[in-house]
Structure 1
Amino acid sequence: MDLINQFIENYKKKINFYETAGRIAAEMLEDALRSSGIRAMVTSRAKSPSRLKIKVTQRNEKRETPYKNMSEIYADIADLSGVRVSLYFPGDRAKADRVINNLFTVAETKKFPVQSKQPSYNKRFSGYWATHYRASMKEDSLDKSRIKYAPVRLEIQVASVLMHAWSEVEHDLVYKPLQGTLSDEELAILDELNGLVLSGEIALERLQAAGNERIQSKNTSFNNQYDLAAYLYNYLSTRYKRMDIEPRMGNVELLLRLMGRLKIANAKELEPILKSTKLVNDKRTISEQLSDQIICGNEKRYHLYRELRAPGEKLSKEQYQAMEYFMKPWISLETILGRLTLKSNPKARGTFNVNSLKRMKVLSKENLDRVVALRNARNVLVHGIEIPDMAALIKMGDDVREILSQLAASGNT
């Protein structure tokens, strides 16, 4: 017990660290879920010292060899920082799973219900439905002042709002009884409530499906990112029924703001853009691919997208000039290559097609390879993944100008 008491006193000194780690993870996850069009409440907490002491004592009693030092205890307790995701619609569990696996480094995933022991009461319903993740934040998603929180192991609990409410009550009454063991009548009421919660989840799933069906109407406006995300998920699942990889939606909220500024308001106006976008087997998210189709070859739209993506972005004068040195001729090249693609395929629109250019032989293999590499660099720059250094931007600008000169010389401008 002396070691456990020492551990608890040490943890009390560090609790602010774990609270901050949980808060940062919750903020990141809430932003990612919202931008992906997933309705949820996200909260965080650090483990209560009193609850932690009970847990450590119980685990120590079950171990073959008692804890030898505090490091062993810290290594054994994986939920000092916790994040709870309460989904408005249980049907969004799979979408939330993709967001979490993309945003965090996930070490373990555990799905409930898991019946580890026979309940004392003859339950009729299945109990707690949720997914728990043991995860940590990626260093490249944190700024320098927050990298120290990257090693913290997080427990992320995902369930519906209804299920979280029921589990809180059940957990406190059944597993942490402060006033004695519950009677069979109390256990029966909890079981009955669980049945109502499960019925409520089914009703919410049906409600979501009915709403999604309504949104598919071509003249229905997208009122928010949730409507747009639902439409895109349905479109993708209908068009790509045999997709091996689940699509990453990305920042649907940003896409909707871009569409709003350009008066693209409903499915009828978005459909031509969707049909001309491959949407699979691409490193870019769905939102990024659609945004690229919308802004391709239009300098004003490029500037609008950057303004919406990173309002108040601070670049030095030299950085801005280097970026413009590459982007201005690149936009001209996009326009020319898009027009050439259109000749090969009159139904094509938006970004140029490399395979069409290859068949037309308007570029040498060397220049076509350069165009592909330049487009990859452009994707990184435009979508804010990183800003290449100024020397790289200048070199890319020179490469684009050289390709434009060769196209002009061959009469393909």
Structure 2
Amino acid sequence: MPISEKVISAAVARYDRERDRYLKLAARVSDICRTSIVEDNAIRAQVTFRTKTVRSFEGKLKRFSRRQDKNYATVDDVFAGVGDFAGVRIATYRPEDEQRVTEEIRKLFEGESGGDVFVDKKDKLAVNSYQFYRATHCQVFLRNEDLIGNYENLRGTSCEIQVCSMMAHVWNEIEHDIGYKPEGGGPGEAEKGLLEALGHLTRSGDAAITRLLAANAARMQENVGDFVDIHDFVAQLRPHFPGSDLSVNAGQAFDTAVQLGLNSVPKLKEALGEEALTPAVSTGRIEAFNKYLASVESGEFALNPVSADAVTVALLHSFAGRIVESNTTDRTKGRPARIFEIARLYNRFLDGQKTGERDAA
């Protein structure tokens, strides 16, 4: 049964009244993705957000009505069935980063009623050699700890996060306008052929970008001066931890090093000792600290030994006190940075070790 004109009109009027709330949601989800996924993990990507325009929403409902493929009997049915009022896109430079971004989304958000995030990975080329749409769609809700202050009225409201490579995004957008929303009977044979040609170019473009970034990282490893940016930080330290993915949690390590004035590998070695920047030492320290965290039920702050936490733990071991002092914040202005909590706990961990050593003596 097609959607009635009455339901369409009422749904459009309701969305017009509530659109600012969806805009606030999209902006908040976008900010979390940008800071806690892209920046914290040194992922090269662009994060954008949008809300549907009222006109676009009305057009979508009318297309549903003509195709008769959506049975929305009431306005509530419409709002329960349409999940992309608020939308965020994470376009990665490399397709290889899409899975990692998706895994981080699962950690930072929750699904309906507090469940797991719903993830729908679409790759039409896998079943049709003439289709090139590829993206991962995640339907997310803010966690309780993010529903505070100005965001309390977003409880129970979902946002769609779309993850794809930049090259895939080009094809997806063009095909969406020409193929998904066809005018005048849909795309002709010439348009279909050109879309296919563009699809092949985007796939080869993905591969070229991956190789380009690998070549760039290899060149950056030869740098010996101050860190240019977080990517330079990761590249220069990678030889010290060859079995680790230093891009994971790199934001925390990089920001802390720069804050301490240790903005080059030589400065890090001088301040921390060369042995601190080795897997053997960092892994031992992290395992001991994580064991302590488990004993005080603070496992959410556990460090990852095969990530940039290998550098973070070296900084904590020498400068935990200074890190706490420099990150102390006014609690009325928001929660302290994660590194503040970790450094505070690491200080207690070190104090416990010293007490144990004195008792043993």
Class of the TM-score when normalised by the shorter of the 2 chains: 0.7 to 0.9
Paired position in structure 2 for 1:375? none
Q: CA deviation at 1:51?
A: 2.7
Q: CA deviation at 1:64?
A: 8.3
What TM-score does the superposition give when structure 1 sets the normalisation length?
0.65
Given that 1:218 and 1:266 are in contact with CA atoms closer than 8 Å, whether structure 2 keeps it comes out as no
2:243 pairs with one of 236, 239, 259? 239
Q: CA deviation at 1:161?
A: 1.9
5+ long unaligned stretches in structure 1: 119-123, 241-245, 317-326, 339-403
Q: CA deviation at 1:166?
A: 2.4
Matched, 1:171 2:176: yes
Q: 1:218 to 1:336 in 2, by over 3 A?
A: farther
- Over aligned residue pairs, what C-alpha RMSD do you find? 3.7
Q: Please show how residues 102-141 of structure 1 align to structure 2 within 5 Å.
A: 102-106=107-111, 107-114=117-124, 125-141=130-146
Paired position in structure 2 for 1:306? 324
Matched, 1:74 2:84: no
Paired position in structure 2 for 1:10? 14
Matched, 1:334 2:350: yes
The amino acid of 2:265's aligned partner reads: N
Secondary structure of the corresponding residue to residue 124 of structure 2: coil
Q: 1:224 to 1:171 in 2, by over 3 A?
A: same
Given that 1:37 and 1:230 are in contact with CA atoms closer than 8 Å, whether structure 2 keeps it comes out as no
Paired position in structure 1 for 2:256? 258
Paired position in structure 1 for 2:338? none
Given that 1:4 and 1:56 are in contact with CA atoms closer than 8 Å, whether structure 2 keeps it comes out as yes
Q: Please show how residues 175-186 of structure 1 align to structure 2 within 5 Å.
A: 175-186=180-191
Matched, 1:294 2:315: yes
Given that 1:21 and 1:81 are in contact with CA atoms closer than 8 Å, whether structure 2 keeps it comes out as yes
Given that 1:41 and 1:85 are in contact with CA atoms closer than 8 Å, whether structure 2 keeps it comes out as yes
Alpha-carbon distance in structure 2 between the residues aligned to 1:125 and 1:30: 33
Alpha-carbon distance in structure 2 between the residues aligned to 1:14 and 1:85: 25
Secondary structure of the corresponding residue to residue 105 of structure 1: coil
Alpha-carbon distance in structure 2 between the residues aligned to 1:330 and 1:117: 51
Q: 1:328 to 1:170 in 2, by over 3 A?
A: closer
Alpha-carbon distance in structure 2 between the residues aligned to 1:109 and 1:220: 42
Q: CA deviation at 1:145?
A: 2.1
Deviates more, 1:137-146 or 1:8-17: 137-146
Given that 2:221 and 2:236 are in contact with CA atoms closer than 8 Å, whether structure 1 keeps it comes out as yes
Q: CA deviation at 1:188?
A: 1.2
5+ long unaligned stretches in structure 2: 112-116, 291-298, 333-342
Q: 1:198 to 1:307 in 2, by over 3 A?
A: farther
Alpha-carbon distance in structure 1 between the residues aligned to 2:185 and 2:159: 32
Given that 2:234 and 2:247 are in contact with CA atoms closer than 8 Å, whether structure 1 keeps it comes out as no
Paired position in structure 1 for 2:293? none
Paired position in structure 1 for 2:103? 98
Q: CA deviation at 1:308?
A: 5.3
Number of residue equivalences:
318
Q: 1:34 to 1:4 in 2, by over 3 A?
A: same
Secondary structure of the corresponding residue to residue 177 of structure 1: coil
Q: Please show how residues 351-390 of structure 1 align to structure 2 within 5 Å.
A: none
Alpha-carbon distance in structure 1 between the residues aligned to 2:277 and 2:159: 40
1:56 pairs with one of 35, 57, 61? 61
Alpha-carbon distance in structure 1 between the residues aligned to 2:310 and 2:235: 17
Q: CA deviation at 1:265?
A: 1.8
Alpha-carbon distance in structure 1 between the residues aligned to 2:226 and 2:345: 36
Paired position in structure 2 for 1:37? 42
Bigger Rg, which one: 1
Alpha-carbon distance in structure 2 between the residues aligned to 1:329 and 1:164: 42
Q: 1:224 to 1:248 in 2, by over 3 A?
A: closer
Q: CA deviation at 1:292?
A: 3.5
Paired position in structure 1 for 2:248? 249
Alpha-carbon distance in structure 2 between the residues aligned to 1:329 and 1:55: 52
Paired position in structure 2 for 1:284? 303
Secondary structure of the corresponding residue to residue 137 of structure 1: coil
Q: CA deviation at 1:333?
A: 7.0
